């Protein structure tokens, strides 16, 4: 059985490698929901390829237009693949840290309740 610390290191290294691999190897193009949107708007046939200039039409069903700090997993125009790698590694670290922080906080609260 692998020790927790070793598994943590292996798991995080694997996550970072997968994230970096995604920058170089992941397939571009619409995902399932975007492809379905292209089909229902007549821009793509059901089983055919997505036209290179096909754009997913945003129906604008609500007035919210949130602009994320790192759209499309990138630090911004001109940051290229390095920007994507940094953005994804940051996302991995933040997800790991957030789960760790929240679960530790919840455990701490449970211990406090048990002591009362």
Partner 1 sequence: MHIPDSFMPLTQGIVYWAVALVFIGLSLRWARRDMDEERIPLVAVLAAGIFAIQSFNLPAGMGTTGHLVGGALAAIVLGSPFAAVFILTLVLIVQGVLFGDGGITTMGANILNMGVIGGFVGFYSFRGLLAVFNRVDPAAFAAAWLACFVPALAAAVEMYWAGTFPLREGLIAMGLYHAVIGFIEGAITVVAIRLIISARPDIIGTGTKAKVAGT
Comparison of 14 and 78: residue with beta carbon closer to partner 1:
14
Among 71, 76, 81, 82, binds partner 1 (CB under 8 A): 71
Q: Which of 100, 114, 69 is nearest to 87 (CA)?
A: 69
Binders of partner 1 in range 1-60 (CB under 8 A): 1-2, 4, 7-8, 10-12, 14-16, 18-19, 21-22, 25-37, 39-40, 44, 46-50, 58-60
Query: Nearest 5°: phi and psi at 84?
Result: -65, -40
Residue 110 is a binding residue for partner 1 (CB under 8 A): yes
Q: Which of 101, 98, 80 is nearest to 90 (CA)?
A: 98
């Amino acid at each position: 059985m692998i020790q927790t610390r070793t598994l943590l290191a292996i798991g995080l290294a694997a996550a970072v490698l997968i994230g970096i691999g995604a920058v170089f190897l992941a397939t571009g193009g619409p995902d399932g929901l975007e492809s379905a949107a292209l089909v229902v708007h007549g821009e793509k046939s059901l089983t055919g390829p997505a036209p290179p200039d096909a754009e997913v039409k945003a129906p604008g069903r609500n007035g919210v237009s949130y602009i994320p700090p790192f759209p499309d997993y990138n630090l911004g125009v001109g940051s290229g693949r390095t920007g994507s790698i940094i953005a994804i590694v940051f996302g991995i670290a933040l997800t790991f840290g957030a789960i760790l922080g929240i679960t530790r906080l919840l455990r701490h609260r449970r211990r406090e309740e048990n002591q009362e």
